[in-house]
A and B are shown apart, each in its own frame.
Chain A
Amino acid sequence: MNKYDLEIKHAPDEGGHFGKFGGRFAAETLMQPLKEIEDAFFAAWADPEFHKERLDLLKNYVGRATPLYHAKQLTAEAGGAQIYLKREDLNHTGAHKINNTIGQALLARRMGKKKVIAETGAGQHGVATATVAAMFNMQCDIYMGREDIRRQAPNVFRMKLLGANVVPVDCGTATLKDAVNEALRVWVASCEDTYYIFGTAAGPHPFPLMVRQFHTVIGQEAREQCLAQAGKLPDVAVACVGGGSNAMGLLHPLQDDKSIRLVAVEAGGHGLDSGEHAASLAKGQPGIIHGSLSYVLADKEGQISANAHSISAGLDYPGVGPELAYMMDEGRLELDSATDDEALQAFQTLTKTEGIIPALESSHALAAGIRIAAGMDKEQVVLINLSGRGDKDLNTVMDKFGFDVDGSL
């Protein structure tokens, strides 16, 4: 891809509101640091030098543009529309997350910060942060729920190899939401010299806007590639949603193509009626967590659900980015979901038909995408964001399938 569109489209209002959602519901101590990040972001975004360096790193360090792959075997398996996979799994570090960490680390450096912190769930954002911190020679602390550390041991090891300090978080449910809380607490006390690289298109303004902008390369490339390869725009674009970074990255640049159905796939966990899922948009209620107003999984008195569940640590989050909430309420976003079992099924299907092992997060998008494609004509196109590769999930899947080296799967 030669030229990315750098215009900021569908911007929130000055306070970071997308309709009634978003905003900056943060403690007073953080308001000025957030304003400083916002000002630095807009200044950087208007500076051609910033993009020159960012896009050069995305090309030569990350490996962009990522391919768009026409998955013919998977298409045959689904038996309907042509399935195209946006191969974010081929990025350096194995997921889309690095698009954002490159951007924010450059911003941190421009702001003169010597240290970065981040939260992580599956560990992908933690790895992507630790990676850029190593490259930029910045001190790096990653906050991670103890439960997630257990589930994602290989990524913990990767972060440590990269020189990051992985701090276990024990409070609350010891998962992603608690890692965010802890990172916020640490940041409050250290914002003078520390930059918080927020990992998803949620949180207080300007994070939802900024993270989305850094990921729009995904959708911009995919749109152009789809036109070139399929000879038309996709009929449906599908992405999994935890906080919403890969979803906003893919879907935002397609938003103005009104013919394209935009589908957000949430984690159905043990089923949408089981109470154990992470489908904030489908089953949540408007609420305020981690600095913005969006949909949350909470009880009627606003206590955030401790039962949020997904087999994929990256989707196991009781909130969702405010812009997705807005798009849903405006009718521009279709909701779908995939259960743990459906995601595991799709994980195997892609592996066996295409020789690509997807992340469990992306497997949710695949499960829904395959289902949707099956009901469509073969002249139609379904674009699925393959947001990450599955190496990090092998332990989880091994546990699930009861792998025995002497037996067969």
Chain B
Amino acid sequence: MSNLLASVFERCAAENRAALVGYLTAGDPNIQTSELLILTLAEQVDIIEIGMPFSDPAADGPVIQAASERALQAGTKIHDVFTIAKKVREVKPDIGIVLMGYANVPYSIGFASFAEQAKESGVDGVLLVDVPAEESDICAAVFKQHDLSQIMLLAPTSTEQRIQLAANVGSGFIYYVSLAGITGAEMGAVQEIQDKLSLIRKYSKLPICVGFGVKTPEQAKSVAAFADGVVVGSHFVSHITLNTGDNAAMNGCLSASVKLMADAMGKG
């Protein structure tokens, strides 16, 4: 597991707060603007998740689907994802950088080459939505070799047995999906999320971040009360759609929105 991710959570714990994890899709709405927006996001989050655009994002809701389509339309390649990660790393040596996406992209370029380039770009962990614990052998050894954390998802439908499987395979942190649904849907009930986290903690010492459906500072605050991190994705991406064609407004709205989340979670 990457020591940097561990130190991020330690730092947040020392400050008595949850980590803010922010997501944007690389290349959305185009490569140049995306770089600007991701650097803006990186200024205020503890961990940045950079989405690798994919043609068939079957676990994503309309907002992130559209982000992926815009990015691919703009000609985004995996090389651009690495370049953006590298730029984030240059200016923010202390934050966690996670690549998130679907298996077919790293599988097609080869997991070894993917992992090597990711590491060189300063990436700490990888989350592949469609690689559950049972299939994790496809990349586990290579990720380990390159000191990349393999971040596993858990969901409301995960049984105790599945929690143990993911706990054995995963590293870095566990990403808990707040609801049985796709990204950007309505967040699940807070009490249910909290109960599930207690169950997960029986089997794993890893920090747990909660995502899918967190849209308001109030929601972020309520989840931050018991989770180790809160992931905000679709909500941040929506600033791109809402300000089409106006980069300054996009960047300004995104920055203000991240600040509201950070403030609500007690990030100084």
Cβ contacts under 8 Å, A287 to chain B: 104, 107-108
- Cα distance A286–B135 in the bound complex, in angstroms: 16
**Contact, CB under 8 Å: A32 / B159:** yes
Instruction: State A185–B60 Cα separation when bound (angstroms).
Output: 7
B180 within 8 A of A: yes
Interface residue ranges of B73-132 to A (CB < 8 Å): 77-78, 102-109, 129-132
B65-A288 in contact (CB<8A) = no
A-facing residues in B55-69 (Cβ within 8 Å) = 55-62, 65, 69
Q: Which of B62, B65, B104, B185 contacts A289 (CB 8 A)?
A: B104
Q: A interface vs B, CB < 8 Å?
A: 15, 23-33, 171-172, 177-178, 180-181, 184-185, 188-189, 191-192, 285-291, 293, 296, 298-304, 306
CB distance from B101 to the nearest CB of A (A): 10
Whether A303 touches B182, Cβ cut-off 8 Å, given contacts A28-B152, A285-B108, is no
Q: Among B59, B102, B135, point to the contact of A188 (Cβ < 8 A).
A: B59
Q: Using Cβ atoms and an 8 Å threshold, which residues of chain A touch B57?
A: 181
Please report the C-alpha to C-alpha distance between residue A177 and residue B54 in the assembled complex, in whole angstroms.
13
Q: Given the known inter-chain contacts A24-B132, A188-B182, please indicate yes or no for A298 contacting B65, CB distance below 8 A.
A: no
**Chain B interface residue count, Cβ-Cβ cutoff 8 angstroms:** 44
Q: Does B217 contact A (CB under 8 A)?
A: no
Q: Which residues of A contact B103 (CB under 8 A)?
A: 25, 288
Q: With an 8 A cutoff between CB atoms, is B19 at the interface? A: no
Tell me whether B55 and A172 are in contact (CB under 8 A): yes
Asked if B182 and A185 sit within 8 Å, CB to CB, the answer is yes
A303 to B109, CA, bound (A): 11
Is there contact, CB below 8 Å, between B61 and A185? yes
In the bound complex, residues from chain A placing their C-beta under 8 Å from that of B237 are none
Contact across chains for A28 and B180 when beta carbons are under 8 A apart: no
| A300→B104 CA distance, assembly (Å) | 10
Contact of B108 among A32, A191, A301 (CB under 8 A): A301
Q: Which residue of the partner chain A has the closest CB to B54?
A: A303
Asked if A29 and B156 make an inter-chain contact with CB atoms under 8 angstroms apart, the answer reads yes
Contact: A301 with B77, CB < 8 Å? yes
B interface residue numbers (CB < 8 A to A): 54-62, 65, 69, 72, 77-78, 102-109, 129-132, 134-135, 152-159, 162, 166, 177, 179-182, 185
The distance in angstroms between the C-alpha atoms of A290 and B157, with both chains bound, is: 19
B218 CB to closest chain A CB (Å) equals 23
Residue of B56, B135, B153, B185 with highest tally of chain A CB at under 10 A: B56
Residue in B56, B72, B129, B162 whose beta carbon sits within 8 Å of that of A181 in the complex:
B56
- A28-B158, A302-B105 known; A185 vs B58 contact (CB < 8 Å): yes
Q: Are A288 and B104 in contact (CB under 8 A)?
A: yes
**Which residue of chain A is the closest to B131 with respect to CB atoms?**
A25
Whole-angstrom CA separation of A25 from B106 in the bound complex: 14
B58, B60, B130, B162 — which one has the most chain A CB atoms within 10 A of its CB? Answer: B58
Considering the complex, give the chain A residue whose CB is closest to the CB of B109: A301
- A296-B54 Cα distance, complex, nearest whole Å: 14
Q: Are B104 and A302 interface neighbours, CB within 8 A?
A: yes
Which residues of the partner chain B approach A296 to less than 8 Å between Cβ atoms? Answer: 104
Closest CB in chain B relative to A115 CB, distance in Å: 15
| A304-B155 contact, Cβ under 8 Å, with A27-B130, A171-B65 | no
Report the separation of the CA atoms of residues A245 and B7 in the bound assembly, to the nearest whole angstrom.
51
Q: Are B109 and A300 in contact (CB under 8 A)?
A: yes
- 9 smallest A-B Cβ distances: which pairs? A302-B108, A189-B181, A302-B104, A29-B155, A28-B153, A302-B105, A27-B59, A181-B58, A32-B157
Chain A residues with Cβ under 8 A from B65's Cβ?
171
Nearest neighbor of A287 in chain B, beta-carbon distance: B104
By a CB distance below 8 angstroms, the chain A residues around B109 are 300-302
Q: Are A26 and B107 in contact (CB under 8 A)?
A: no
Question: B55, A31: Cβ atoms under 8 Å?
Answer: no
Give the chain A neighbours of B108 by CB distance below 8 A: 285, 287, 298-302
Which chain A residues lie closer than 8 Å to B159 at the CB level?
32
The answer to whether A288 and B181 touch across the interface, beta carbons within 8 angstroms, is: no
User: What 18 additional pairs, Cβ within 8 angstroms, besides A181-B57, A287-B104, A290-B56?
Assistant: A23-B134, A25-B130, A27-B153, A31-B132, A31-B162, A171-B65, A184-B58, A189-B180, A189-B185, A191-B157, A288-B104, A288-B107, A302-B54, A302-B106, A302-B109, A303-B55, A303-B72, A306-B55
